[in-house]
Chain A
Amino acid sequence: MEPMIKIENVSKTFRGKENTVEALKGITLEIGAGDIYGIIGMSGAGKSTLVRCLNFLERPTEGTVYVEGRDLSAMSEKELRRMRTSVAMIFQHFNLLMQRTVLDNVCFPMEIAGVPKKEARERARRYLEIVELSDKEKAYPAQLSGGQKQRVAIARALAMDPKILLCDEATSALDPTTTRSILALLKEINQKYGITIVIITHSMEVVQEICTRVAIIDAGVLAESGTVEEVFASPKSKAAKRLVFQGERKVALMKSKRCVRIVFTENSSFEPVIANMVLECRASVNILLADTKDIGGIARGQMVLQLPEDEQTAEKMIAYLKERNLAVEELTDYVE
């Protein structure tokens, strides 16, 4: 099947007076129709530049991008503008028009595209219903919370019936609870309307929560890409490992003894795997790190266990965990 977005050898260099910055270096990536694709990287990795190349707000210095098989670099200004109506975008700071009501904000892209006012208003009301903000149509952005502002931005993005929705750090300015509700809304939009979603983020949690596939960008280079399960269960690149262990500096301590990292992807949340293992093997383990959560009855996340000194018991435990379909990885080489 033809990918929805094909990024082909894209490089972007910013030339300043004193220095040139290579923001992207030869990125090649395919994003399938209907995917929720995460592009993750640390600040300054070039992911925001990459997302702007997807609708040519930034023109790549080299390489090109195909949207539905059409080469963006071959388009005229006018064709690019038309293409952008089907590639919507939401932002970290929402970027709403502060002097317009919620309803008029949602009408804005239709106004630009020349949709008759009456029809635009009807459609805008429908989209406000989807984002559950019908009662706020007369409010101004300054009267809304961050989460509500992002909902307005999402309604505005949906207004032109886009095929693709680009999210540039869309939840980075929101608290965890609001983040979850916005992510749930994005997932719903993806499933109900089949809109391909590209999520730019620095947070592995966001990727785990809703993405199907993920690409890791590090210093302008594509470090790794694959399904979220693959990358999370066995990160190969250094950048991926750093993101998976985000903020965990204790890892160095784990090196001294035999430690394993286990990743939960498909186990039932109701099955006490670790406790059962301890009962079965009659030896205790030390939980050095645990970051798991329940997503729809399935346990997701990771743990780092320090195994008993006794080789035999340790092997037995590893075998037990593997039997339970957990990804087990010995932590020998990982040091920050």
Chain B
Amino acid sequence: MLNSAEISMLLEATGVSVYMTLVSTLLAYVIGLPVGILLVVCAPGGLKPKTVLHKVLDIVVNITRSIPFLILMLLATPLARAITGKSYGANATIISLTLAAAPFIARLVESSLLEVDRGVIEAAQSMGAGTFAIVKKVLIGEARVSLIVGSTIALGTVLGYTAMSGAIGGGGLGDVAIRYGYSRWDTKILLATVVLLVILMQLIQFAGTKLSRKLDRRLTG
């Protein structure tokens, strides 16, 4: 069995993983949400079509999304060092996690907002609503369930990234798995990190599903 030192190390690593996941997803939404909104609003046939801006955002999102996460992390090291003062550890990893997750989140937001019925948007326009009001009250208001489902997916993906970041000096469960499980062949600890990651993922999914069900007014029963 695991001794108490190992248990406290695993618990601490779990805390670090949760911290990295939550903070970087949150920061990624700060970038990804407005970009996702702009992708919808500025699209041809959108509320305020802006062809050039849309094209530029579209290409930037595609490029950042096509760089594999580990490589993006390496590329982001100088930036992480500039911001956090270190090139390794949880906080430095958060920078590259944020950069990796933001374009993904922009796409998730875009697809959620595109689901909103065009008729409802037109109804709001017929009432004299401006673009800002439509984005806030119609697009986000009506797509909120889909946005929550999207954020559940984003959290799960970022949790996976945090584990991967352990390979090159990130913190948390991935780091423990690499140092003990891979470098020292300590299968016990390797398995424990897997179990903990599975539990975290289940919790995220459970909470996300529960919340979106609770908020969805389209379900009658």
Contacts and interface: CB of A to CB of B under 8 A. Distances in A.
Nearest to A143: B220
A82 to B, nearest CB: 6
Chain A interface residue bracket vs B:
20 to 34
A296 B154 CA distance: 62
A231 B218 CA distance: 44
A93 interface: yes
Contacts of B128: 80-85, 109, 112-113
B119 A88 contact: no
A209 to B, nearest CB: 24
A88 B123 CA distance: 9
Interface in B189-221: 215-220
B126 A142 contact: no
Nearest to A160: B127
A305 interface: no
Contacts of B141: 97, 99-100
B137 A142 contact: no
A57 interface: yes
Most buried by A among B120, B126, B127, B218: B127
Contact of B126 (A57, A96, A111, A140): A57
Contact of A95 (B117, B130, B217): B117
Contacts, number: 77
Contacts of B127: 84-85, 88-89, 108-109, 112-113, 160
Interface string A57-77: 100000000000000000000
Contact of B219 (A87, A101, A109, A142): A142
B57 interface: no
A96 B120 contact: yes
B145 interface: yes
A273 interface: no
Contact of A99 (B119, B122, B218): B218
B126 A55 contact: yes
Contacts of B144: 99
B95 interface: no
B220 A95 contact: no
B217 A89 contact: no
Contacts of A166: 126
Given A95-B117, A95-B120, A89 B126 contact: yes
A97 B119 contact: no
B133 interface: yes
A140 B137 contact: no
B125 A112 contact: no
Contacts of B138: 97
Which 8 residue pairs are nearest across A and B when measured between Cβ atoms? A84-B128, A95-B123, A81-B128, A89-B126, A109-B127, A140-B217, A95-B119, A85-B128
Given A97-B141, A112-B127, A142-B219, 4 more contacts: A89-B127, A93-B119, A99-B217, A160-B127
